[in-house]
Amino acid sequence: MRDATPGAIYLADYRAPDFLINRTELHFHLGEEETIVTSRLHLLRSCEVDGTPPLVLNGQDMELLQVSIDNEPLAPEAFEVNDDTLVIADVPEQCVLSCRTRIRPQDNTSLEGLYRSHSMYCTQCEAEGFRKITYYLDRPDVMSVFTVTIEADPDQFPVLLSNGNLFASTTLDNGLQQVTWHDPFPKPSYLFALVAGDLEHVEDTFTTAGGREVTLRIYVEPKDLGKCAHAMDSLKRSMRWDEEVFGREYDLDIFNVVAVDDFNMGAMENKSLNIFNTSCVLCDPDITTDQGYQRVESIVAHEYFHNWSGNRVTCRDWFQLSLKEGFTVFRDAEFSADMGSRTVKRVEDVSLLRTAQFTEDAGPMAHPVRPDSYIEINNFYTATVYEKGAEVVRMIHTLLGPERFRSGSDLYFQRHDGQAVTCEDFLCAMEDASGVDLTQFRRWYAQAGTPQLRVRDRYDADARTYTLEFSQSCPPTPGQPQKQPVVIPCAMGLLGDAGNLPLRLRGEPVDAETADNTHRVLIIDQPSQEFVFENVAERPVPSLLRGFSAPVRLDYPYSREALCQLMSRDDDGFVRWDSAQTLAVQVISEVQEQLATGQAASVDDMLLAACAQLLEDATLDPAMVAEMLTLPSENYLAELAGEGAADVEAIHAARRAVQQAIGRELAGPLLARYRELEVTGDYAPSGEQIAARSLRNLCLGYLAGADAQHLALAAGQFAAADNLTDRLAALRVLACHGSEADWQQPLSRFYSDWQHEALAVNHWLTTQAMMPDAGVIARVRELMQHPAFDLRNPNKVRSLVGGFAGHNPLNFHRADGEGYRLLREAVAELNGINPQIAARLLAPLTRWRYYRGRADLMRAELEKLAGMEDLSPDVYEVVTKSLQ
Ligand code: PHE
Ligand code: ZN
């Protein structure tokens, strides 16, 4: 049954388009006051349609000046202009339709369509922004060859870019510059891009495996010219990697990247003209953290990889979004794993999945990787479509193995090159190339919710058998009360006293027992299932879900001793980290109970000993030690508490007590590591330096969090730092653990030193938004009036308001509801400016079911939003679904 949601669009209603557009010619006249767009669409009625359906073009927020067919202007009664369509009843089977429209990009604050950012014009068309530029069949299954002519004042806009190759460039009699670009690859409108501005660029070249020399350019505002080297290197590494690992070569002679300061997302894969949020492309040691460098590398790769997984083969409709996004996130994660530490990358990704995606999957906006309905597609660029979608592709990789997966990928690209296809097409290619049946596996695309994998075990010493019993279940999600069992690949091993035990399942030949069979993947596809291992000499500790082989919640009753053994001795790095997390979760919740019953906090020595061991073992990768010593976040702990059970203050207090105990009890080793890990020499975003800084700054946090005396270390580090990573880490420690006298001066110092760098200032905003002191709400409100803040700039909104609501649970959930009010007011104002950002910002309020004693306050703010006039579809969808 379908719900009766007004304005909802359903996958089940998909119909192929009635018309095709073989060629699209666009002419832009970029003026001071207005931009005139003239289109010539070479239309063809689809041979699959009966009769003569009307032509319905999408279009929004523009003024139609003229419409003609085959150069004959249409009389007013021949067409109908509505809020978001242009309908022409009578259209020949084949014709050239031309529209002239007027738009005002300088007034476009939604940052969709053509808009102005500082002094440049740029576009963002995914998902449905093209319809704000001209009337069009704005859907991904209409693919067309674009020719784009741009006319503008050469003094203001010396650089004029669009997709494909530069075809012509002239100066017109009226002094305007005119350029024409032609993209030979048919593409949907969402991949169209245009940029005009006073930009400078860095240039490099890349020679493909096939010998094509590609010119690579990164365009930026002149002041940022020195910040492009890392992105350029990352681009060249991505191009090489995609050839080597996926056999994918670049297909044009030019590849352009443009950095834009006002951008809703991270970056966009427009054909041969990628547009990036400045925060995802510019790098400089003083404005970019180590994490930022790694993020730039992965996003540059992600957008580049879209050239095949997204552009050459695109999506049939927006329900298939994960076809390109899940696959491309999987590809960029593999790339990052190959460029640095595979385990650390995996740990970071799983951490993100568990905090962002599991919460989404357990909340009112839960949807399948392939959603079956939406009101506003912009609300579906989610952790589920991206990150869970990538996990689903990773499971296919695990089930098929690397060789057959590669054959499946080759077949997919070959079979569907130039087409707009579905997740089903991807699965068929994987099946056809591998012979593996993915029928049941398809449920991962259709069912929402995070499956739970319950595991219990028995050891029979006499029979020398060890039995693992698995059962799976999945909680109900909106519209899906009942779930079917999914296919869960569970990578595992068994840890014995002397190391990992050889594995032989009942029924397998004895001679299969070789030395290296200590790892295998069990396939769980039934509601419950048993596996019996034979010839097991001792009761083992099971090492389960190695590498996080499936996006599920694991439920096995680990003892703390077992967790410590896995932490220190398991073969799998991910399991070592995960065991540390589980141990910390157990200890924090024990402390939470102690505090709740009026006892003093007493932190289990086992945790302290395990931490000490990690700190003292010089053979371990410091990056991995830092991950293992990082306590689970308050948000994650709240999510684990479950609906109606999260007590923010109690969680904060317990976590803080454990943090302080570690800082106090291990002060000696923490200080020793802090000193020994100091990086000498120039800053470099190398794996080795990044690892050292991450552990060193973690040590600093523990030390200063436990003993105010160590705040001096932070102050010293802040003053001496020659890079943002160390400077910001020190500033955060002061802001988080110090008193006003400790942070007042450094905070103002940071601003006065870096106020000319928007990206550094954004970190300054976030640092203040995340402070635990009671004054933070007043401070955030003040900062919203600060000259460094601008509600129209998404990066600033995310840094300040998003940082507060998303990463300062203690104050966001303040008992007087002031945190909720702040967020609601910001969302209400943004609703009229940038609905996409407004809806995203709202996410923390949608989790009202979790917070004990807060649900009414949170709901009240959602209801205030629901009652607003002029609510955008974006905010409307999130608000109404969360209140259901
Ligand atoms: N397609 C972009 C990416 O994932 C994300 C994006 C979506 C950017 C919508 C802008 C608007 O690479
Ligand atoms: Zn993407």
Tell me the C-alpha distance between 135 and 575, whole Å: 53
Tell me the C-alpha distance between 72 and 53, whole Å: 20
pLDDT (0 to 100) of residue 396: 99
| DSSP at 756 | T
- Whose tokens are 């202009």? That residue is 81
| DSSP at 599 | P
pLDDT (0 to 100) of residue 475: 98
Cα(642) to ligand 2 centroid in Å equals 31
CB of residue 665 inside a 6 A radius of ligand 1: no
CB of residue 128 inside a 6 A radius of ligand 1: no
CB of residue 387 inside a 6 A radius of ligand 1: no
Cα(785) to ligand 2 centroid in Å equals 34
Tell me the C-alpha distance between 719 and 284, whole Å: 19
CB of residue 874 inside a 6 A radius of ligand 1: no
- Residue of the CA atom closest to atom 3 of ligand 1: 268
Atom of ligand 1 nearest to the CA of 303: 12
- Percentage of the chain modeled with pLDDT above 90: 98
CB of residue 315 inside a 6 A radius of ligand 1: no
Cβ burial, residue 168 (10 Å; 0-12/13-18/19+): exposed
Report whether 783 contacts 748 (CB < 8 A).
no
Instruction: Out of 112, 303, 431, 590, pick the active-site residue.
Output: 303
Tell me the C-alpha distance between 343 and 575, whole Å: 10
pLDDT band at 512 (very low <50, low <70, confident <90, very high): low
Q: Is there a cis peptide before residue 735, judged by omega within 30 degrees of 0?
A: no
Tell me the C-alpha distance between 691 and 684, whole Å: 11
- For residue 516, is pLDDT > 90? no
**360 is known as an active-site residue:** no
For the CA of 325, the nearest ligand: 2
CB of residue 302 inside a 6 A radius of ligand 1: yes
- List CB contacts of 126: < 8 A, sequence separation 6 or more: 190, 191, 268
Q: Is there a shared CATH topology between the 313-446 domain and the 755-884 domain? A: no
Mean per-residue pLDDT for 285-313?
A: 99
pLDDT (0 to 100) of residue 61: 96
Mean per-residue pLDDT for 474-483?
A: 98
- Residue of the CA atom closest to atom 12 of ligand 1: 268
Tell me the C-alpha distance between 406 and 689, whole Å: 34
416 token code pair? 């569907």
Mean per-residue pLDDT for 438-465?
A: 98
Cα(137) to ligand 2 centroid in Å equals 22
Cα(321) to ligand 2 centroid in Å equals 9
Cα(138) to ligand 1 centroid in Å equals 16
143 token code pair? 């693919």
Q: How many CB atoms lie within 10 A of CB 71?
A: 9
- Residue of the CA atom closest to atom 2 of ligand 1: 268
Q: CB-hemisphere CA count at 13 Å for 394?
A: 24
- For residue 484, is pLDDT > 80? yes
Q: CB-hemisphere CA count at 13 Å for 418?
A: 9
**Residue among 329, 281, 340 nearest 305 (CA):** 329
- Residue of the CA atom closest to atom 7 of ligand 1: 126
Tell me the C-alpha distance between 183 and 192, whole Å: 10
Distances (CA, A) of 859 to 648, 694, 863: 17, 39, 6
- H or E stretch at 650: helix 648-665
- 421 backbone dihedrals φ, ψ, rounded to 5°: -125, -170
51 token code pair? 């009769």
CB of residue 190 inside a 6 A radius of ligand 1: no
Name the residue of 265, 308, 321, 331 whose CB sits within 8 Å of the most ligand 1 atoms, as the mutation to test its pocket.
Answer: 265
The number of helices, as runs of H, and strands, as runs of E, in the chain is: 30, 32
For the CA of 300, the nearest ligand: 1
Cα(644) to ligand 2 centroid in Å equals 35
Q: What is the pLDDT of residues 345-386, one digit of tens each?
A: 999 999 999 999 999 999 999 999 999 999 999 999 999 999
Q: What is the pLDDT of residues 273-283, one digit of tens each?
A: 999 999 999 99
Cα(190) to ligand 1 centroid in Å equals 10
**CATH classification for the domain delimited by 755-884, as one of 3.30.2010.10, 1.25.50.10, 3.30.460.20, 1.20.1560.10:** 1.25.50.10
Q: How many CB atoms lie within 10 A of CB 700?
A: 26
Instruction: Assign 178 to helix, strand or coil.
Output: strand
- CA dihedral (286, 289, 294, 299) positive or negative: negative
- List CB contacts of 619: < 8 A, sequence separation 6 or more: none
For the CA of 378, the nearest ligand: 1
Report whether 783 contacts 768 (CB < 8 A).
yes
Report whether 388 contacts 282 (CB < 8 A).
no
CB of residue 325 inside a 6 A radius of ligand 1: yes
* Averaged confidence pLDDT in the chain: 97
For the CA of 127, the nearest ligand: 1
Q: How many CB atoms lie within 10 A of CB 646?
A: 24
Tell me the C-alpha distance between 815 and 797, whole Å: 24
Atom of ligand 1 nearest to the CA of 306: 12
Across-strand partners of 152?
Answer: 177
CB of residue 265 inside a 6 A radius of ligand 1: yes
* CA 356 to chain CA mean position, Å: 9
Report whether 462 contacts 469 (CB < 8 A).
no
**Residue among 387, 451, 400 nearest 426 (CA):** 400
Report whether 605 contacts 612 (CB < 8 A).
no
pLDDT (0 to 100) of residue 238: 99
Report whether 132 contacts 409 (CB < 8 A).
no
CB of residue 269 inside a 6 A radius of ligand 1: yes
Tell me the C-alpha distance between 606 and 611, whole Å: 9
For the CA of 324, the nearest ligand: 2
Cα(349) to ligand 1 centroid in Å equals 19
Strand extents, DSSP E, 53-157: 55-58, 63-69, 72-73, 79-81, 85-88, 94-103, 113-117, 120-124, 144-152
Domain 313-446 classification at class level? mainly alpha
| DSSP at 787 | T
Cα(304) to ligand 2 centroid in Å equals 9
- H or E stretch at 260: strand 254-260
Report whether 426 contacts 442 (CB < 8 A).
no
CB of residue 267 inside a 6 A radius of ligand 1: yes
Cα(786) to ligand 2 centroid in Å equals 33
One-letter amino acid at 185 equals F
Domain edges within the chain: 313-446, 755-884
CB of residue 191 inside a 6 A radius of ligand 1: no
pLDDT band at 510 (very low <50, low <70, confident <90, very high): confident
CB of residue 126 inside a 6 A radius of ligand 1: yes
Cα(127) to ligand 1 centroid in Å equals 8
- CA dihedral (357, 361, 365, 367) positive or negative: positive
Q: What is the pLDDT of residues 161-191, one digit of tens each?
A: 999 999 999 999 999 999 999 999 999 999 9
Sheet of strand 120-124: strand arrangement: 113-117, 120-124, 194-197, 159-162
For the CA of 265, the nearest ligand: 1
CB of residue 124 inside a 6 A radius of ligand 1: yes
pLDDT (0 to 100) of residue 31: 95
Angle at CA of residue 194, ends 331 and 125, nearest 5°: 60
Report whether 106 contacts 31 (CB < 8 A).
no
- For residue 410, is pLDDT > 80? yes
CB of residue 121 inside a 6 A radius of ligand 1: no
Report whether 166 contacts 148 (CB < 8 A).
no
Name the residue of 115, 123, 126 whose CB sits within 8 Å of the most ligand 1 atoms, as the mutation to test its pocket.
Answer: 126
Atom of ligand 1 nearest to the CA of 263: 10
For the CA of 270, the nearest ligand: 1
- Percentage of the chain modeled with pLDDT above 70: 99
Strands 373-374 and 452-460: unpaired
pLDDT (0 to 100) of residue 5: 65
One-letter amino acid at 762 equals N
Report whether 229 contacts 189 (CB < 8 A).
no
CB of residue 123 inside a 6 A radius of ligand 1: no
788 token code pair? 């460094």
- For residue 514, is pLDDT > 80? no
Name the residue of 187, 268, 269, 314 whose CB sits within 8 Å of the most ligand 1 atoms, as the mutation to test its pocket.
Answer: 268
For the CA of 332, the nearest ligand: 2
pLDDT (0 to 100) of residue 1: 39
Tell me the C-alpha distance between 394 and 396, whole Å: 5
Q: CB-hemisphere CA count at 13 Å for 194?
A: 31
- List CB contacts of 559: < 8 A, sequence separation 6 or more: none
- For residue 297, is pLDDT > 80? yes
Cα(314) to ligand 1 centroid in Å equals 13
Q: How many CB atoms lie within 10 A of CB 677?
A: 19
488 token code pair? 């869960």
CB of residue 258 inside a 6 A radius of ligand 1: no
CB of residue 251 inside a 6 A radius of ligand 1: no
- Residue of the CA atom closest to atom 11 of ligand 1: 126
pLDDT (0 to 100) of residue 2: 44
pLDDT (0 to 100) of residue 792: 98
DSSP assignments along 502-516, one per residue: P--BTTS-GGG--TT
Atom of ligand 1 nearest to the CA of 325: 4
- Residue of the CA atom closest to atom 1 of ligand 1: 268
Question: b or e along 802-834 (b: 16 or more beta carbons within 10 Å of the residue's beta carbon)?
Answer: bbbbbebbbbbbbeebbbbbbbbbbbbebbeeb
Tell me the C-alpha distance between 99 and 36, whole Å: 10
Greatest distance between any 2 Cα atoms in the chain: 96
Sheet of strand 79-81: strand arrangement: 55-58, 85-88, 79-81
Name the residue of 117, 122, 132, 269 whose CB sits within 8 Å of the most ligand 1 atoms, as the mutation to test its pocket.
Answer: 269
- Residue of the CA atom closest to atom 9 of ligand 1: 126
Tell me the C-alpha distance between 99 and 58, whole Å: 12
- Whose tokens are 């649970």? That residue is 809
Q: What is the pLDDT of residues 523-564, one digit of tens each?
A: 999 999 999 999 999 999 999 999 999 999 999 999 999 999
Q: What is the pLDDT of residues 705-746, one digit of tens each?
A: 999 999 999 999 999 999 999 999 999 999 999 999 999 999
pTM above 0.90, yes or no: yes
Cα(124) to ligand 1 centroid in Å equals 9
Mean per-residue pLDDT for 238-245?
A: 99
- For residue 232, is pLDDT > 50? yes
CB of residue 303 inside a 6 A radius of ligand 1: yes
484 token code pair? 């079917």
- Residue of the CA atom closest to atom 5 of ligand 1: 268
Instruction: Assign 127 to helix, strand or coil.
Output: coil
Cα(549) to ligand 1 centroid in Å equals 27
